[in-house]
Chain A
Amino acid sequence: MILPMEKTASEFKEGLRDGIPICLGYAAVCFAFGISASEAGLYPIETAIMSILSLTSTGQFAALPLITGSATLFEMAAMQLIINLRYLLMSCALTQRIRPETPVPQRLGIAYGVTDEIFALSVSRKYPLNPAYTYGLTVISALGWSLGGFFGTFAGDILPSNLTSCLGLAIYGMFLKIILSDARENNTVAAIIVITMVISLIFTYAPVLRSISPGFRVIIITIAISAAASLIAPYKEEEGAGA
């Protein structure tokens, strides 16, 4: 019999291992952020503290012009709310992946690590999600993220830019793996993915629509397509074959 403690430890280790590609991708992205941050006048330690506290790439990049332009704190708060609103949807989805009786401190712990990538790997686990797995992902990812920011602010451009940008593909590769492995067995999911990509393409390049910020674009598409799919082909738990 596996004791709960051992289970937790092994889930945590698995999280650490699965988080390695996230860690490398994050280090590369936040290294690039650090370069921009140093141009905006931030010290390496400030970049590291900002990175470890907010753990968001778009939010941090968007913060720089506000800081250099001496924006009000209210503007900063409003901007961060809009840009990061998709995390709200992800957190809602995560509530259905953990056990209902998961205590509040665990929920607060998971909340810290709700990023695109950690969310993606967490939801790819079988129900119920063990918070320890998400902690493993979070620890190693946050480490890569803040160290990348710290050294990026120091370093300026050391790595050749084509190498850093190719590392950026790791994250997208992971996203594709996570959604496509379910698409192989489920036609509804496959259709949802294809339709989403087509609509996302249209929103990104079509006149007028392209003026919508990337953050809002993802939110609008997520709400619209998830709602439409739930009306047309509602997801049902496969409880009892043939039911």
Chain B
Amino acid sequence: MREVYLYIIVMALVIYAIRAVPLVLIRGEIKNPFLHSFLHYVPYVTLAALTFPSILTAADTLPGSVAGFVTATVMSLRNRSLLMVAAGACLAAYLTELIVSMVF
């Protein structure tokens, strides 16, 4: 067996443990108001921190990334569907880069 598989097994075990331990240990609703509120807010903060500013370097150029960011923000605020927002962001970035590369 290649040594690579040892690394792969260790990786898989550690990562799965991180994901599984809270789900198995925390049964039932958390009654403590602070913790309850804390866990309610976690997704918003995590996703916002993952998105920004990373989204500004997601496409190959800044104009493309900004176009994707603005498009996704506007479409989300206008309550477009998930698929539309995802597709809109990609398309806006791609078209902007295409236009910028043709103009300059």
Contacts and interface: CB of A to CB of B under 8 A. Distances in A.
A184 to B, nearest CB: 6
B19 to A, nearest CB: 4
Contact of A218 (B16, B27, B49, B59): B49
A10 interface: no
A96 B53 CA distance: 28
Contacts of B33: 234, 236
Contacts of B14: 76-77, 80-81, 84
Interface in A89-114: 89-96, 100, 104, 107-108, 110-112, 114
Classify chain B's interface size.
35 or more
The size bracket of the interface on A is 35 or more
B90 A162 contact: no
Contacts of A59: 11, 15
Contacts of A93: 39-40, 42-43
Interface in B27-46: 27-30, 33-34, 36-46
B29 to A, nearest CB: 6
B18 A173 contact: no
A242 to B, nearest CB: 19
A200 B53 contact: yes
A108 B20 contact: yes
B87 to A, nearest CB: 7
Given A46-B8, A217-B49, A107 B20 contact: yes
A170 B89 contact: yes
Contacts of A167: 90
B83 to A, nearest CB: 6
A184 B74 CA distance: 12
Closest 8 pairs between A and B when the two form their complex, measured CB to CB: A173-B89, A53-B12, A111-B20, A230-B37, A91-B22, A180-B76, A100-B28, A196-B48
Interface of B: 2-16, 18-24, 26-30, 33-34, 36-55, 58-60, 64-65, 68-69, 71-73, 75-77, 79-80, 82-83, 85-90, 93-94, 97
26 contacts: A21-B86, A55-B15, A63-B7, A84-B14, A84-B18, A92-B22, A96-B39, A107-B23, A110-B23, A111-B20, A112-B19, A114-B23, A161-B60, A162-B94, A166-B68, A169-B90, A172-B89, A177-B72, A177-B75, A177-B82, A181-B76, A192-B41, A217-B49, A229-B41, A230-B41, A235-B36
